[in-house]
A and B are shown apart, each in its own frame.
Chain A
Amino acid sequence: MSPTVRVKTLTIDGQAVGAREDQTIMQVARENNIFVPALCAIEGLTPVGACRLCIVEVKGVNKLLPACATRIEEGMEVTTNSERVANYRRTILEMLFSEGNHICSVCVSNGHCELQTLAKKLGMTHVRVPYRSTMRRVDASHERFIADPNRCILCTRCVRVCDEIEGAHTWDVMGRGINSRIITDLSQPWGDSDSCTSCGKCVNVCPTGALFEKGKAVSEMSKRQEFLPYLTLMREGKK
């Protein structure tokens, strides 16, 4: 922490809190044990505000702000759990579910999936928009891993961990809007990628069963993410 960083005070859900000025609402909320859901943000990677599940209300601001990508301000009054926020979050989840093939019961990540956990926790009981029932091709060309784009929610954690931590930048996003998808190298089969080091970080940060280890049967793929903050710390220490 640089010595010039100042402390700011704000309220989250009515609770007065103090924090460093370079922190995000999400960081401060979590430090104070206030739950804010997140699918794209993960400690140790740059926030991108892709999934919008972390939206919160800030007094005086009309639109909802992503807690993961919004810095705190002096005197901010943040609400994380209003009815409005809850409704938006559920709608976002429904759209995520309808956009791919998230059939939990036959997924390798069943029981260990962040999307599934959040849907339960946030009370998403059904999906009100029509399912797209995608038939995207599964990439099983890698020796150890499989990518199933039908379960991808485009959080881009894989892209960021590969770029920021592993330094390989094998993953990237191609296309726009509803046609966006995650690719390896220049949209080659993962197994043909020259840049991939097969480190498996992308698999472990993936919140769903979109990236998983070969040979895992249904419900068997649990991810290990504890390593990420340590890796980030170690890198910073070296700088």
Chain B
Amino acid sequence: MTQKIVIDPITRIEGHAKITIEMDDQGFVRDAHFHITQFRGFEKLVEGRPFHEMPSLMARICGICPVSHLVASARACDMILAVHVPETAINLRRILNLAQLIQSHALSFFYLSSPDLLLGMDADVAKRNIFGVIQSNPQLARDGIRLRQFGQQVIEWLAGKRIHPAWVVPGGVSAPLSAENREKILAAIPEALATIQRTLDWYKGVLDNFREEARLFGNMPTMFMGLVSPDGELEHLRGKLRIVDAVGNIVADGLEPEHYQDYLGEAAESWTYLKSPYYKPMGYPNGMYRVGPLARLNIINRCGTPYADQEWAEFRQLERGAVLSSFHYHYSRLIEILYGIERIEQILNHPDILSKKVRAFAGPNKLEGIGMSEAPRGTLMHHYKIDENGLVQWVNLIIATGHNNLAMNRSVLQVAKHYVKGEKIQEGMLNRVEAVIRTYDPCLSCSTHAAGQMPLNIELINSGGEVIDQVIRG
């Protein structure tokens, strides 16, 4: 008898993801699938729109990381304009993107994951949330709020709005940075820096308590992919793709984002609407790779800022090759926050940062544009084709969560194999399946966990389709 355990829905906001765990006759887990059954159709929605509207339209895909879509889209549009975007504009976009990264990572770490980390995976669900964190470690909760605020505040100082700013436009940005706002950001940096350093110290102290999770949460050999600067440093806005294998060797370097179709394939599976990208030369599914903060820290030669470089060196000591456990996405996020704060300061001290020349104007000079950037969750790719009047004809997007699709499935399977035995659904298993998904911080887990646990509906189904066990939580 084959049994199927269905966990559904895994989230509230985009509450259309569920998990099925298939069991064999002996009651052992055979396979696990993380389904995304929601189809938003943004690609279709924007057909026929003038391409200048694209950055703002695309930003609407996500309320947590709109800026990531904004910059990736603007990069694609820059290519359509075929102009030289002023360096200052690139740097301003860079700050915006980093500010977004900081606030998104802070959300993921402090609001969504710290309850598990601080109170333990098996703590009472009524307490295992941000309010529980506030009670048991108010400093940590406050730090999370402050860091998130820092990121959002920088976005507002630059772009005039925290959510969905329209400041990033094809060809650059719509307004220069004022001297006053530059000062404001610089003044906020020391506190942000101290905050993240305090958090890192705390986290490194408790890391040892999670040896089991680190061993079981997506701890598997895969490749890692992300953008790097020409010197092999962290780069979230421009740069070229690098792919590194599980041992840490560079598999491919200097891959041009424009030619992604040559080396990235997109497989479609019947159990999910999310496409599963893979590295073509290795075939499917062997070409599985991970993206996001963990991947970025695995592919670089160094971060490129002093404090982050120190932390990075320590981080890489965790394993001899690449750091393989997805559990360490959490750790990577903290290091990236540190890097982001330092880098913003570096960029703000650039002599041209207040330059008024922040935009290049042009019509559509090319009929196709591809923009790639590193979003908080990983490599984000926007690809547009337009007609000669500038109306969008075709769009393809590869979102960060998509790149991680294969890896997320593997991770769920790994956890399920270890924690699911017999015909009963066990509470500890649920929390861990939930937690392993959360290490990837997939978009669909967006704001769900901020105020409580993920609503879950798990069913144990036998081969005849009957429900033999059920747990509903929500």
Contacts and interface: CB of A to CB of B under 8 A. Distances in A.
The majority secondary structure among interface residues of chain A is loop
Interface stretch (A11-19, A25-33, A50-58, A137-145): A137-145
Interface in B8-53: 48-50, 52-53
A224 interface: no
Contacts of B361: 215
B166 A215 contact: no
A107 to B, nearest CB: 8
Interface in A81-128: 105-106, 108, 110
Contacts of A106: 53, 56-57, 60
A24 interface: no
B2 interface: no
Nearest to B160: A219
B169 A138 contact: no
Contacts of B49: 138
A218 B363 contact: no
Contacts of B425: none
Contacts of A154: none
Contacts of B55: 217-218
Nearest to A140: B389
Given A217-B55, A220-B174, A105 B50 contact: no
Interface string A168-207: 0000000000000000000000010000000000000000
B391 A218 contact: no
B46 to A, nearest CB: 10
Contacts of A146: 50
Contacts, number: 51
Contact of A218 (B53, B389, B390): B53
A140 to B, nearest CB: 4
Interface in B40-95: 48-50, 52-53, 55-57, 60
Interface residues of A, number: 19
A218 B48 CA distance: 16
Contact of A217 (B169, B362, B389): B169
B391 A110 contact: no
B155 to A, nearest CB: 16
A110 B60 CA distance: 15
Contacts of A105: 56, 60, 164
A132 interface: no
Nearest to B54: A217
Contacts of B60: 105-106
Interface string A127-156: 000000001011011000010100000000
Nearest to B81: A215
B361 to A, nearest CB: 6
A137 B164 CA distance: 26
Contacts of A220: 166, 169, 174
Given A106-B56, A140-B390, A217 B48 contact: no
Most A CB contacts (10 A, CB to CB) among B55, B166, B362 go to: B166
B293 interface: no
Nearest to A135: B48
Interchain residue pairs A-B with the least CB separation, the first 9: A218-B56, A140-B389, A217-B169, A218-B166, A219-B166, A217-B52, A106-B57, A140-B391, A106-B56
5 contacts: A108-B53, A140-B50, A218-B56, A218-B57, A220-B166
